């Protein structure tokens, strides 16, 4: 029963969220029905992964609040916590993403169709979740104006870092994010301002972890 209440609660939040962001006719309504219909049939492994992932994203945010409160100065922490606890990756429960992700990561084969469907699901995901840097890459319509990388709002930078860091939390190796970032930074497209903010935060995290672990 408790689980059902939790589910209804999050569905209500989802409907609110998607009402705003999903203009495709019947998009979110279809998604809700889908969740009700499929919930018990689909992969427990993927459901568990989603739950676990969100928990690890929240752990990162909690750590930042507890250890580097200055980073959250001027941020509406209640909204950010809601964003991370309730809305983070919520679109992964929609029709467009759930099954393709499940099939790709937990299915038995990566057939041409599974891979193709996953690509559409990933595209759907990055276009609806501002914590992904790809969301802020503007491919201009006019010929010759190319691609511009827009500054990310600060709250989404924090959510993005917590998202990256969640994999370190899962492994229990909190430093892993730094080598991961070094490996991917040339590929990740961020505006100069956003990159500076990201790297400042990562530096502060490393310093604080060093202080906690090595007393330096």
List interacting residues with Zn ion (CB under 5 A). 89, 129
Shortest reach from residue 77's CB to Zn ion, in Å? 20
Is 13 or 209 the residue whose CB approaches Zn ion more closely? 13
Is 89 or 102 the residue whose CB approaches Zn ion more closely? 89
Is 119 or 145 the residue whose CB approaches Zn ion more closely? 119
Is 129 or 168 the residue whose CB approaches Zn ion more closely? 129
Convert 119-147 to b/e letters by CB count within 10 Å (16 or more is b). Answer: eebbebbbebbbbbbebbeeeeeeeeeee
Is 137 or 209 the residue whose CB approaches Zn ion more closely? 137
Shortest reach from residue 88's CB to Zn ion, in Å? 7
Shortest reach from residue 56's CB to Zn ion, in Å? 12
Shortest reach from residue 92's CB to Zn ion, in Å? 7
Shortest reach from residue 122's CB to Zn ion, in Å? 10
């Amino acid at each position: 029963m408790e689980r059902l209440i939790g589910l209804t609660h999050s569905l209500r939040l989802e409907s609110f969220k998607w009402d705003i962001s999903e203009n495709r006719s019947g998009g979110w309504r279809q998604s809700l029905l889908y969740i009700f219909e499929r919930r018990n049939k689909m992969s427990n492994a993927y459901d568990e992964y989603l739950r676990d992932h969100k928990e690890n994203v929240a752990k990162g945010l909690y750590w930042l609040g507890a250890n580097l409160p200055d980073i959250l100065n001027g941020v509406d922490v209640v909204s950010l916590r809601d964003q991370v606890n309730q809305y983070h990756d919520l679109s992964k429960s929609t029709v467009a993403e759930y099954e393709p992700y499940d099939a790709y990561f937990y299915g038995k084969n990566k057939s041409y169709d599974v891979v193709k469907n996953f690509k559409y699901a990933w595209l759907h995901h990055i276009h609806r979740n501002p914590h992904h840097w790809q969301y802020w890459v503007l491919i201009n319509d006019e010929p010759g104006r190319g691609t511009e990388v827009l500054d990310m709002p600060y709250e989404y930078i924090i959510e993005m870092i917590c998202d990256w860091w969640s994999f370190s939390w899962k492994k229990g190796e909190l430093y892993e994010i730094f080598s991961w970032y070094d490996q991917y930074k040339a590929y990740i497209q961020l505006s100069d301002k956003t990159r500076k903010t990201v790297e400042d935060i990562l530096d502060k995290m490393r310093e604080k972890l060093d202080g906690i672990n090595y007393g330096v």
